[in-house]
Amino acid sequence: MPIIETRDLRKVFRAVKRTPGALGALRTLFSREYVDRVAVEDVTMSLEPGELVGYIGPNGAGKSTTIKMLTGILVPTSGRVVVDGLVPYAERKKNARNIGVVFGQRSQLYWDLPLIESFELLRAIYAVPPERYRTNLREFTELLEMGDFLQTPVRQLSLGQRMRGDFAAAMLHDPRIIFLDEPTIGLDVVAKEAIRNFIIRVNAERGTTVILTTHDLADVERICPRIVLIDEGKIIYDGEVERIKSEYGTHRTLVVELCDGERDVHVSGATFESRVGNSVRMQFDRNEISADQLIRRVADSYCINDVTLQEPDLESIIKRIYREGYSDPDGAVPPPAEIAR
Amino acid sequence: MIGPYVEFARKAFAREATYRVEVFTNVGSVLLRVYLFRSLWTALYAQNAAPADIPLHAMITYATIALLMGLILEIDGTRAIRERIREGTIATDLMKPISLPLYFFSDGFGQTVFHALLIVPSVLLALLLVHIDVPSPATLALFALSFALGYLVNFFLNFLMNIVAFWTLETFALQLMVRWASDLLGGQILPLSFFPGVLGTIVGALPFASIYWTPLRIYIGQVAPAEIPGLLAVQMGWLVLFAGVSAVVWRLAERRVVVQGG
């Protein structure tokens, strides 16, 4: 049974139409003309318990609108949404007990109080049994290395420490689902890695379902086996990261270091890209020529010191999809829900 | 499920206590104002500006108690609503399994308790500085009850003003107007018997009178004991009305966020 299920979920925002200019501004004070903006259009998806899903899309694509509907603070215009057996907007408070939320941009911790006091407050809010609270707190303190700053007022914490605090805060009541919105934004590499490991660990040990929205695709690559790609309110891809990579990431880069001087390399099957000193970059399509063949061809005409092969990362693939739109190389795009299975 | 709300109040209390310097300057400023009020009213009474039913010692008592009540009543726990709407953090609040009006009430109450404790030194020092009347324990108890009702009326008044932000985002001008109106028409600045004739009757009938005027009248013994139950009933009436309106408006506000997005 899916833990999160949406069917033809749709949200239309209605805004007062603004006429430009001072006179127009005056006019909008009195006239009520509206424009409708479709933020989320017929989103159908389904998540099984324990899944780690990256929910990806450019700014304004409808990600946070979807998340708001899943957390129950926004009513859909039409369509169905069920989260852990509940309709979120109809049972907001009940739904709130099943979910945890982390926003990278805003904290749910008490600014003026020591970190530990925020945790105690959350214990009271969610009525976490004392034994459970102690176990969780001990475990999170260890995993997130929070021991040194539990007694520090939140306003004095570094961003990395605060984020770790926010993660613990979101997990203290053992939610079945956590929504993470840009959780690693602004963090340094070490802090990012600590957060990623924590997510993976929590998912593995507690079976927590994770929905991650982020612009940092390295997060997704590291954490999520599955991504849902949304653009202009519509799901354009829903499936495994590996699959999108193998379909879209057919372009490889071959970097050749020549042993006999600095010159450009031209062979059939690959496109010359750039050269720095005696290091030459070439692009080729894996479907047209194998790396092995290409290297042989280069070696036939040039003296090679070293070769490296670079796979495209998710970021460059997604960038390309934003730019060109997604079309399934195998033909027609099946409905996203179908791909998921 | 009262647990979380008690905790909210305790945290608000602790939070207030973190600003220690403010605490001490506060006591100083209160004493200064108490002294100024005494001088002001003494001078005014010497000029025969007094209403017939309030003698000078009662007036000084009135002004001092009104000032101390103000320290509690000016705390507006619901101001956080306005701030959170503007910052958009109200969305995270709504993702918690709690009642937000109760949350803001407990938070404000925690702050109140802290400031009420803070008043104690001010009160003791004020007693040394100026002579104020201390009524019988029975009257004090009735005053406390009436003050509590006034506190609640004041809470809902603030609450209503702040949730207007769900529609307008900005409520500062409204806030200022209501604040002034309630200080003047509520009797914090002047006893309402200073208002002449019909104006006095109207002002006395407004809900603001429940906040300062009613408890203070009871304190200075300006009303006969037989009238007190009636006054308390009027306060209770305003409280019920304001609470009812607040509940309705809150439901609309909540729906508005949830339908239109935070």
Residues of B in contact with A78 (CB under 8 A): none
Residues of B in contact with A120 (CB under 8 A): 7
Distances (CA, A) of B45 to B54, B193, B219: 10, 15, 20
Tell whether A97 lies on the interface with B, counting CB pairs under 8 A. yes
Lowest-confidence pick of A77-91, B66-80, B210-224 = B66-80
More confident residue, B114 or B26: B114
Q: Where are the alpha helices (DSSP H) in A144-212?
A: 159-171, 189-206
- Amino acid A333: pLDDT: 46
The whole-angstrom distance between A306's CA and the closest CA on chain B is 54
Place B259 in a pLDDT band, splitting at 50, 70 and 90: low
Place A331 in a pLDDT band, splitting at 50, 70 and 90: very low
Contact, B239 vs B159, CB < 8 A? no
**A329 has a pLDDT exceeding 60:** no
Place B261 in a pLDDT band, splitting at 50, 70 and 90: low
| Axis-axis angle for helices B20-46, B100-129 (nearest 10) | 60
Tell whether B197 lies on the interface with A, counting CB pairs under 8 A. no
Of B89, B261, B169, B87, nearest in space to A62 by CA: B261
Residues of B in contact with A68 (CB under 8 A): 91, 261-262
Contact between B95 and A112 using a beta-carbon 8 Å cutoff: no
What is the model's pTM? 0.77
**A341 has a pLDDT exceeding 60:** no
Contact, A235 vs A45, CB < 8 A? yes
Ranked by mean pLDDT, which of A147-156, A184-193, B84-93 comes out on top? A147-156
Where along chain A do its domains lie?
4-245, 250-311
Mean pLDDT of chain B: 85
DSSP run (H or E) holding A41: strand A34-47
| Separate counts of helices (H) and strands (E) for chain B | 12, 0
CATH 3.40.1190.20 fits A4-245, yes or no: no
d(CA A224, CA A240): 9
- What is the pLDDT averaged over residues A239-262? 83
Q: What are B60-90's pLDDT values in tens digits?
A: 889 989 988 888 888 887 888 888 887 777 8
In chain B, residues 52-91 whose CB comes closer than 8 Å to chain A: 87-89, 91
Find which of B2, B8, B95 to mutate to test the A interface (most A CBs within 10 Å of its CB).
B95
**B190 has a pLDDT exceeding 60:** yes
- Amino acid A334: pLDDT: 45
The whole-angstrom distance between A128's CA and the closest CA on chain B is 11
**A330 has a pLDDT exceeding 60:** no
Of A97, A68, A63, A83, nearest in space to A5 by CA: A83
Contacts of B119 (CB under 8 A, 6+ apart): B30, B68, B71, B72
**B160 has a pLDDT exceeding 80:** yes
Place B229 in a pLDDT band, splitting at 50, 70 and 90: very high
Q: Which residue of B has its CA nearest to A39?
A: B261
Distances (CA, A) of B153 to A175, B110, B245: 38, 17, 12
Place B150 in a pLDDT band, splitting at 50, 70 and 90: very high
- Amino acid A332: pLDDT: 42
